[in-house]
């Protein structure tokens, strides 16, 4: 067996190549948008790509699955329940995909999203038992995938995680993310084992009720440009340009400077329930998840000061606006928290409206621009 993990530092995602050294058949799982890296490897190794699998419809990064299939003639696979607008081979729970002598056993693990699958990798010449599992955004290292992306459900996530924990301790766990907004407690390692997570993943020690409450109660904000990216991955739009690149230099402005900027537009990129509770007087609200689909509401001729709660989301959003051609963009240092601390004018109900409590993660504050 040949196995290689690709780590995308920009968006915190992982993708995989699994191949048979006997038949030279190969499969790529959860490919990133830049598919040339997989083609280069396949050519170098003399592998023939037979399947490309998306474990689910991604909402935080553009998938390269369709492009890779277009270039190679490989068969595109998703779970049978995936609601996409292009043809694919439907996979079902309990099904085996043969890749030479290898078997990829499909396990339906909904929760993060309804169509999410995990893939058990079995090399019968070595053992009848699986040696590793590709978990997509179900079981993560130190965390589990959040359930508020596209119809996910915390109770379904509990059932899926319980199912995965029935695997032997030795099984290696290779998730679809090692950083990013799909979980709030990922430790940053790119892999783990079932046994280690069983012992040390704090969520896996919870009974159903506390587990569900933990997932539903506090979540990171929806990813930057989630609406455009998810629509692209479903085939409902072609907005691959909405994928943040994150290399743009963005100035920071403090609250007093922002207050003196006159015609500057204050763009609050928090979730609506956060904005309704308390926001800078005169600010407008476009959540970071919707920026790419609402660009026509952001004037290019005005100075833009992007605002969030503490400064992480606003920096990434401002970098994206620079990426798509906005010239005068700054991020508010310290965000709404700093503005309120100085006693500057705000509006809002003063009470947090219905909605999950948004937690700022290290990823958000790091200024990394992937979603």
Rg (Cα) of the chain, in Å, rounded?
22
Instruction: Classify domain 229-365 at the CATH topology level.
Output: Oxidized Rhodanese; domain 1 (3.40.250)
189: left (phi over 0), alpha (psi -120 to 50) or beta: beta
Of 11, 13, 69, 308, which is the active-site residue?
A: 308
3-state helix, strand, coil in the chain (%, to 5): 30, 25, 45
Mean pLDDT by 10 residues, the chain (371 residues): 95 96 98 97 98 97 98 98 98 98 98 97 96 97 90 94 97 94 84 97 96 86 94 97 89 92 92 95 96 96 95 94 96 96 90 62 39 26
Number of Cβ within a 10 Å radius of residue 319: 23
Q: Tell me, what's the pLDDT at 361?
A: 57
Task: Indicate the domain borders of the chain.
Answer: 2-219, 229-365
Note whether 10 and 40 are within 8 A (CB). Answer: no
Q: Tell me, what's the pLDDT at 360?
A: 61
How many angstroms separate the CA atoms of 289 and 287, rounded? Answer: 5
How many angstroms separate the CA atoms of 353 and 351, rounded? Answer: 6
Q: Tell me, what's the pLDDT at 353?
A: 55
Under 8 Å CB-to-CB from 30, ≥6 apart: which residues? 13, 14, 15, 16, 53, 54, 55, 58, 63, 65, 134, 136, 176
How many angstroms separate the CA atoms of 259 and 284, rounded? Answer: 15
Q: What is the DSSP string of 244-280?
A: --------EE-HHHHHT-TT-EEEE-S-HHHHHH-EE
Query: 188 is written with which tokens?
Result: 């940053």
Q: Tell me, what's the pLDDT at 357?
A: 65
- In degrees, to the nearest 5, what angle opens at C-alpha 160 toward C-alphas 223 and 126? 110
Q: Tell me, what's the pLDDT at 351?
A: 63
Residue where the block lists tokens 């920009």 = 10
Judged on CB neighbours under 10 Å (0-12, 13-18, 19+), 44 is: exposed
How many angstroms separate the CA atoms of 350 and 89, rounded? Answer: 50
Q: Tell me, what's the pLDDT at 356?
A: 63
Match domain 2-219 to its CATH number in 1.10.3720.10, 3.40.640.10, 3.60.15.10, 1.10.1300.10: 3.60.15.10
Q: Is 308 a residue of the active site?
A: yes
Note whether 60 and 11 are within 8 A (CB). Answer: yes
């Amino acid at each position: 067996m040949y196995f290689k993990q690709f780590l995308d530092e920009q968006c915190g995602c992982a993708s995989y190549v699994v191949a048979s050294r006997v038949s030279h058949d190969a499969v790529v799982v959860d490919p990133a948008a830049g598919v040339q890296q997989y083609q280069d490897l396949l050519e170098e190794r003399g592998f023939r790509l037979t399947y490309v699998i998306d474990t689910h419809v991604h909402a935080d990064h553009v998938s390269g699955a369709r492009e890779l299939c277009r270039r190679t003639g490989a068969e595109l696979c998703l779970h049978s329940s995936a609601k996409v607008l292009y043809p694919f081979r439907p996979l079902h729970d309990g099904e085996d995909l043969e890749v030479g002598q290898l078997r990829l056993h499909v396990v339906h693990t909904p929760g993060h999203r309804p169509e999410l699958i995990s893939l058990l990798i079995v090399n019968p010449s070595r053992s009848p038992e699986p040696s590793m599992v590709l978990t997509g955004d179900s079981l993560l290292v130190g965390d589990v995938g959040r359930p508020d992306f596209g119809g996910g459900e915390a109770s379904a996530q509990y059932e899926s995680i319980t199912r995965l924990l029935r695997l032997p301790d030795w099984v290696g766990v290779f998730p679809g993310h090692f950083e990013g907004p799909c979980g709030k407690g990922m430790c940053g390692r790119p892999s783990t084992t079932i046994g280690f997570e069983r012992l040390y993943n704090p969520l896996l020690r919870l009974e159903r009720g506390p587990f569900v409450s933990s997932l539903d109660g506090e979540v990171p904000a929806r990813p930057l440009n989630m609406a455009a990216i998810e629509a692209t991955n479903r085939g409902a739009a072609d907005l691959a340009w909405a994928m943040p690149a994150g290399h743009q230099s963005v100035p920071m402005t403090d609250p007093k400077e922002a207050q003196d900027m006159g015609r500057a537009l204050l763009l609050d990129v928090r979730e609506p329930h956060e904005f309704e509770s308390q926001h800078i007087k005169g600010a407008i609200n476009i959540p970071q998840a919707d920026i790419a689909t609402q660009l026509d509401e952001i004037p290019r001729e005005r100075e833009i000061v992007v605002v969030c709660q503490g400064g992480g989301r606003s920096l990434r959003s401002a970098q994206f606006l620079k990426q798509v051609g906005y010239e005068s963009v700054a991020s508010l240092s310290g965000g709404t928290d700093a503005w309120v601390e100085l006693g500057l004018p705000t509006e809002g109900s003063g009470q947090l409206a219905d909605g999950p409590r948004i937690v700022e993660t290290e990823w958000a504050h790091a200024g990394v621009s992937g979603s």
